[in-house]
Amino acid sequence: MNARGLGSQLKDSIPVTELSASGPFESQDLLRRGFPCVKNKLFPSHPLELSEKNFQLNQDKMNFSTLRNIQGLFAPLKLQMEFKAVQQAQKLPFLLSSNFSLNILQGNAKTIGFEDILNDPSQSEVMGEPHLMVEHKLGLL
């Protein structure tokens, strides 16, 4: 059998990752995820939960449409361009960025929220190996 025939047979085979125990018979990680509840996955726990999740997005859409009606098309485009530029400016990969300049542009610099006092749960204080993280971000690893 030549190498081309072997390659086509390997391409048609099932990858090993699909044979892992995932799906309805997977054992749940109770320490990290807690007890599974199907009802919580299907329905929001409160009628206002969806509205609160999308509050900032809805607020931005309303502000941009009002700004477009008052000042024309260029004003919201310029503001969105500034938002994108500020979001791209980051610290080194191993240092967390607070995006304070984005908060200033959005007008949230003077407000105190949950994340200001107790921090965002997704941002843990664990710092990784700086050289490995920079090399990973640059695609060298």
pLDDT in tens, 24-52: 666 666 676 777 666 666 666 777 888 88
Question: Between the CA atoms of 34, 36, 39 and 44, what dihedral angle is there, to the nearest 10 degrees?
Answer: 40
Whether residue 135 lies inside any domain: the answer is yes
Amino acid at 80: Q
Q: Which of 59, 58, 67, 137 is nearest to 95 (CA)?
A: 137
The backbone torsions φ and ψ at residue 115, rounded to the nearest 5 degrees and listed phi first, read -70, -20
Whether residue 66 lies inside any domain: the answer is yes
Whether residue 139 lies inside any domain: the answer is yes
> Length of the chain in residues, anyone?
141
Q: How big is the chain by its Cα radius of gyration, in Å?
A: 23
Rounded to whole angstroms, the Cα distance separating 44 from 48 reads 8
Whether residue 59 lies inside any domain: the answer is yes
Whether residue 46 lies inside any domain: the answer is no
Whether residue 93 lies inside any domain: the answer is yes
Return the residue matching tokens 């059998």. Answer: 1
Q: Say if pTM beats, i.e. exceeds, 0.85.
A: no
Specify the pLDDT at position 58: 92
Rounded to whole angstroms, the Cα distance separating 54 from 111 reads 19
Q: How many independent structural domains does the chain possess? A: 1
Whether residue 96 lies inside any domain: the answer is yes
Chain segment 60-86, per-residue pLDDT in tens? 899 999 999 999 999 999 999 999 998
> What is the residue range of 94's domain?
55-109+130-141
Whether residue 71 lies inside any domain: the answer is yes
* Chain-centroid distance, C-alpha 108: 20
Specify the pLDDT at position 17: 46
